[in-house]
Structure 1
Amino acid sequence: MAFFQFEREQILHANLEEVWDFISSPKNLKKITPDYMGFDIRTPDLPDKMYEGMIIAYRVRPVLGIPTTWVTEITHVADKHYFVDEQRVGPYALWHHQHRIAETENGVLMHDIVSYRPPLGFLGSIANALIIRNKLNEIFDYRKKVLEELFDRGE
């Protein structure tokens, strides 16, 4: 049973409050997800701000356009510091994603830590090496680009 971690950091030239306001709104997740994933939030009447215990249902098409249901729970929130989402229904045997932000002299440091276990044991490890790790890099590269366009002011 394989277990993997994926980490990514990014500096945004913005203030802590505006970055937090953006990332703590579940409605903005679609904006930072590549279009080819067919991301669609299925939770009706989604609030503007997340909270601990919040359940969010999505429909995504991460591989070969095959639709997948993904349900996450926001398990921890520390205002303007971090939040954690954990998969409750979806393709992974385990998915735990920490979104951390901190103000620095250069802007806001975003630090993501994704801890995950693919399904199917040994076959999941092969899928990670061939597909999953590359997809995570693609998704976070896209997110980095979009967030830079939204927040960086050429500083």
Structure 2
Amino acid sequence: MGFYQLHKTQNVPATIDEVWDFISSPANLKKITPSYMGFDITSKHAGEKMYPGMIITYKVSPVFGIKMNWVTEITQVKEKEYFVDEQRSGPYSIWHHEHKIEPVEGGVLMTDIVSYKPPFGFLGSVANSLFIKKKIEDIFDYRTDAIENVFGKWV
């Protein structure tokens, strides 16, 4: 029954306002998620800025093209610094995702910390070793490229 973390950082050549406006809008989630995930926001208020207590619902195909519902709650927000989303219903036993941004010379440092626990106990741990960890890493690699397409490459 493993518990895992993924840490990713990315330097973005933009202002803190530009990066915050982009990442704090649920409508932009689809732009930074690979199309093979079949990601669709089903919430009515997806165009709003995030706020604590906001519930966002999605349809997603994380494994083998199987569509499932995923419900997250935005549990914490500190404008232009961080927000946290936590799964309330979905493919994981636990999903806690911290999105942090901070100004640095030349732009913004974005840090993502994903803490997760796959379902199914020991079998989930095996699945994590075989493909879940790699799939999550691939999604965040895609996000790196997508953010570069929006804001440009860090030089």
TM-score between both structures, scaled by the size of structure 1: 0.96
Aligned pairs for 1:91-102 (under 5 A) are 91-102=91-102
Give the distance between the partners of 2:154 and 2:7, measured in 1 at CA.
25
Give the distance between the partners of 1:39 and 1:15, measured in 2 at CA.
28
Provide Cα deviations, 1:99-125, integer angstroms capped at 9, x if missing partner.
000000132000000001111111111
Structure 1 residue 153, shift from structure 2 partner: 5.9
Query: Unmatched 5+ residue regions in structure 2?
Result: none
Q: Is the 8 A contact 2:11 2:108 kept in 1?
A: yes
Aligned to 1:107: 107
Give the distance between the partners of 1:144 and 1:105, measured in 2 at CA.
19
Give the distance between the partners of 1:102 and 1:133, measured in 2 at CA.
26
Aligned to 2:13: 13
Q: RMSD over aligned Cα, in angstroms?
A: 1.1
TM-score between both structures, scaled by the size of structure 2: 0.96
Secondary structure, in 3 states, of the residue corresponding to 1:17? Answer: helix
- Sequence identity of aligned pairs in percent? 59
Q: 1:54 to 1:141 in 2, by over 3 A?
A: same
4+ long deviations beyond 2 Å:
45-48
Query: Unmatched 5+ residue regions in structure 1?
Result: none
Aligned to 2:145: 145
